[in-house]
Amino acid sequence: MANPRIKRESRDLDDRLADRVQEVVERSNGAAPDDIARRERLDAFRDKWANSALPDLPGGIIPGMHLCWLSTTNTYDSIDKRMALGYEPVKASELGKGFEGLGKMSSGKFEGCVSCNEMVLFKLPEDIYQEVMRMLHLEDPLEHQRNITAQVRDTAQGNKGGRSVLEGGLLEMEKDTAKANNKNIRFQ
């Protein structure tokens, strides 16, 4: 499964919606009713987690910075914790012309910062963001995958009947792990 955080060609929402409608039409032609219901249910789950309440800001609006929305009400992943890691609130004046319509905090700790409901816009230097995303979404999962394959290989070799255990998916997992450590991957 592709990682949705890896930057891809940006597409307009209307284009994505048109593609989605076309997919549903193509699937419904000739597909069994159970398959259609299953796919529609999966699409509904996928759409449920899509960001629809927060404004989309274009990439590169603040050069060299990654932007994200942080919640003022999340006690587990608090803004103070993020600020200790280097995140900084974005002042409305930093966005420049064309973004005057975005909400601003009028008082409190984040006065003058861009906000939407309980969310506040924050920035982090792009190089730090890329380093953290690489660690969390590439290197750590690859290390976990290597450990799994090594453990299965050791178990299979100990029982001297391991060829059947290693055939198929596990061997593919080993190959994918070897190929995956690409330094040119960019996360968004």
Q: How far apart are CA 159 and CA 117, in angstroms?
A: 59
pLDDT at position 86 is 94
pLDDT at position 77 is 92
Residues in the chain: 188
Q: How far apart are CA 99 and CA 95, in angstroms?
A: 6
pLDDT tens per residue across span 40-53: 877 777 766 665 67
- pTM, two decimal places: 0.61
**Strand-pair category, 119-125 with 65-71:** antiparallel
pLDDT tens per residue across span 93-141: 898 887 777 888 888 889 889 998 889 999 999 999 999 998 998 888 8
Burial 132-160 (b: 16+ CB within 10 A, else e): ebbeebbeeeeeeeeeebeebbeebeeee
Looking at the chain, the number of H-run helices and the number of E-run strands are 7, 5
Q: Which amino acid is at 128?
A: I
- Domains of the chain, residue spans: 13-44, 65-125, 128-180
Farthest-apart Cα atoms in the chain, separation? 70
Closest among 105, 107, 130 to 118, alpha carbons compared: 105
Q: How far apart are CA 12 and CA 7, in angstroms?
A: 15
Q: Is the pLDDT of residue 6 over 50?
A: no
